[in-house]
Structure 1
Amino acid sequence: MISSDSVEYRPDILGDDFEQATLDLPNDYEGQVVATLIRKKAAEPTKKAVLYIHGFIDYFFHTEMAEQFNQHGFDFYALDLRKYGRSYLPHQKYYNVHSLPEYDAEISEALDIIAQEGHEAVLLCGHSTGGLTTTLYAAHHPKHPLIKALWLNSPFYDFNMSTLEKKFAIPKMAAMGKRFPNMLFPSRLNKWYVPSLHADHHGEWLFNLEWKKLRYPLVRLSFVHAIHEAQKEIHQGVRLDISTLLMYSHQTTYPRKFNRDAQTSDVILNVKDMVKYGKKIQGDVTLCEIQNGLHDLVLSEKPVREKVYAELFSWLESKGL
């Protein structure tokens, strides 16, 4: 366990009272590993905090979300996981993971730091692959003294493929990924998603296009293996002992050219899978559909994300947080 006295914060790239600290982690199959803890404290002292985990090909840049939590009395923390964003090291392959529990080290260390900084209640949050990771972290750490609730933003509970592909192709690719982790396979990620977000294209957000790339046509089979193993556990039905809010868009679409669908729907994952497997989670789970939501709901158009925050903070209040 790291001592909070040894955590050295410095100004973050986001400015405006955002700070970051590097977490040194045990070496892995690529050598040196670090993660980055970002924080923004609320105006008044509080014992409540948020820990946010980003998705695949992503990093934390969501200043509005942090400010929303600050305004509602939460200190805000986020992780850039190993090999992502601020945590990427030159000798590493971007986003390279062989098993999602690899991320438990930085999540656990971040929670230890949050506890040592005087917090007694944490809302754990995850988007997309981060939603899958945080669901399993909560399931594997029941009765955690700090985690009091879980917020899932479009969790990656299944591959967005046909039934036949999911039944036959994915298990075969996952098995190959265990033996040949660096083998590449077409990602099939919709090419309009990131352009729908970035201010230089069709969106309103500024972020680093090296860290959150416009296109990512090929994915390592190690990632397919890691996700498949994690999703198998979700599909069997995990138990959570904390209240959980699962949010998702009202529809999934597959735009081949840029159009209104790219700005009003989930073009990455199938929202029906989120509902299907969300209902299999044992425990207090609330499902919340967001009309015209993007895959990352808090990056949707302003009226849509205002609805996201209204639903979220109403739910948190109902749970005593």
Structure 2
Amino acid sequence: MPDLPPPASGAWGPDVLGPDFEARVLPLPGDAEAALVRHVPSTTGRAPARVAVLYVHGFADYFFHPHVAAELAGRGYAFYGIDLRGHGRAWDAQVAAGGDPNQVRDIAVYAQDLDAAAAAIRSAGHERLAVLGHSTGGLVAPLWAAARPGRADALVLNSPWVEVNKPRAARLASVALVETLGALAPRAVVSHLGVDYARALHRSYGGEWDFEPAWKPHTRFAARAAWARSVMRSQRRLARGLHLDVPVLVLASDRSSKDQHLTTDSVLNVAHIRDRAPRIGTDVTFREIPGGAHDLALSPAPARELYLTTVLDWLDARVP
């Protein structure tokens, strides 16, 4: 790991993103830790903003999106991001305890991370909370909201990971494999995170974005059986219907491909997202972003601006 400063323990302290951001440790049951980040200009004014937005990242990822925080702050929203246990700013604590980085044996445990973040945000005086989840975060957030009614007032899901991106026969084979290995050999490697998408985004490979490659890997990263089993079980739970009664905005690119990493979703099948979106709740809006990347917030212009404007306009209308 690089020599990056850890979040402050128990209090807000300097963050790796610079003076507009601060971070703190969120203690969790079982001596686990997550990290909460706040956008200082939008969260430390004389009176707290009525609505706060909490960003939840995807697999093998972390919060490094200052432009998203600035756009939301410009419309009057307080902005927070969480690095879930074992990810990004919370990497060291999990690895030091013998855990695998970027994954847990059951993603349901992330409900504890979101509970802690929501409690900290509410205690800062914000009356309403919108959760913005990307990819795996877009799977974790609605499951948490369904299990914890009343803790989120709205959800925005950026390319949520609602299904494994494989043909049906291969998906069924994967389910059988991870169900068996998840029980017998939970740390068995069942797949690897590809490197092409992350490299296409990073400035060192010609992309637009700076992020820490140890926290968002540029190299092949192992995914283990118990984690994969819990993801697939969670996807099946969502597919059965969550029936959330809070407003939900689901966004995805207009196309998927294997190799057009910046202008299509090269990670997920957007048809799966379009199909599953209505099953999340009773008030779901689906929007396509032409030319959008998997992380729509990291798309090239003008898709990025369209994504951000769509999110902001929806929040203004649905979370007054």
Equivalent position SS for 2:55: strand
Does 1:105 find its partner at 2:108? no
Match of 1:152 among 133, 148, 157: 157
Q: Is the 8 A contact 2:28 2:116 kept in 1?
A: no
Does 1:173 find its partner at 2:185? no
Whichever residue aligns with residue 175 of structure 1, its letter is T
Which residue of structure 2 lines up, in the alignment, with residue 123 of structure 1? 130
Which residue of structure 2 lines up, in the alignment, with residue 12 of structure 1? 15
1:109-258 matches, cutoff 5 A: 109-144=116-151, 147-187=152-192, 189-255=193-259
Whichever residue aligns with residue 317 of structure 2, its letter is S
Task: State the Cα distance separating 1:7 from its structure 2 match.
Answer: 4.1
Does 1:266 find its partner at 2:270? no
Task: State the Cα distance separating 1:139 from its structure 2 match.
Answer: 1.2
- Mapped to 2, the partners of 1:243 and 1:25 lie a distance apart of 28
Q: Is the 8 A contact 1:41 1:70 kept in 2?
A: no
Q: Is the 8 A contact 2:201 2:298 kept in 1?
A: yes
Residues 196-240 of structure 1, C-alpha deviation per residue, up to 9 Å, x if partnerless? 110111211101000100132531112211101111101111111
Equivalent position SS for 1:315: helix
Q: Is the 8 A contact 2:12 2:23 kept in 1?
A: yes
Whichever residue aligns with residue 52 of structure 1, its letter is Y
- Mapped to 2, the partners of 1:164 and 1:198 lie a distance apart of 34
Equivalent position SS for 1:225: helix
Which residue of structure 2 lines up, in the alignment, with residue 283 of structure 1? 282
Counting aligned pairs with the same residue, the percent is: 33
Residues 233-291 of structure 1, C-alpha deviation per residue, up to 9 Å, x if partnerless? 01111111110000000111012xxxxx2221111111111111112223100000000
Task: State the Cα distance separating 1:176 from its structure 2 match.
Answer: 1.5
Equivalent position SS for 1:279: helix
Which residue of structure 1 lines up, in the alignment, with residue 4 of structure 2? none
- Mapped to 1, the partners of 2:50 and 2:319 lie a distance apart of 13
Over aligned residues, Cα RMSD in angstroms?
1.5
Task: State the Cα distance separating 1:190 from its structure 2 match.
Answer: 4.2
Residues 64-91 of structure 1, C-alpha deviation per residue, up to 9 Å, x if partnerless? 0011111111111111111111101242
Which residue of structure 2 lines up, in the alignment, with residue 3 of structure 1? none
- Mapped to 1, the partners of 2:41 and 2:78 lie a distance apart of 5
Does 1:37 find its partner at 2:41? no
Q: What TM-score, normalized to structure 2?
A: 0.91
Task: State the Cα distance separating 1:172 from its structure 2 match.
Answer: 2.7
Q: Is the 8 A contact 2:195 2:217 kept in 1?
A: no
Q: Is the 8 A contact 1:42 1:71 kept in 2?
A: no
List alignment gaps of at least 5 residues for structure 2. 1-8
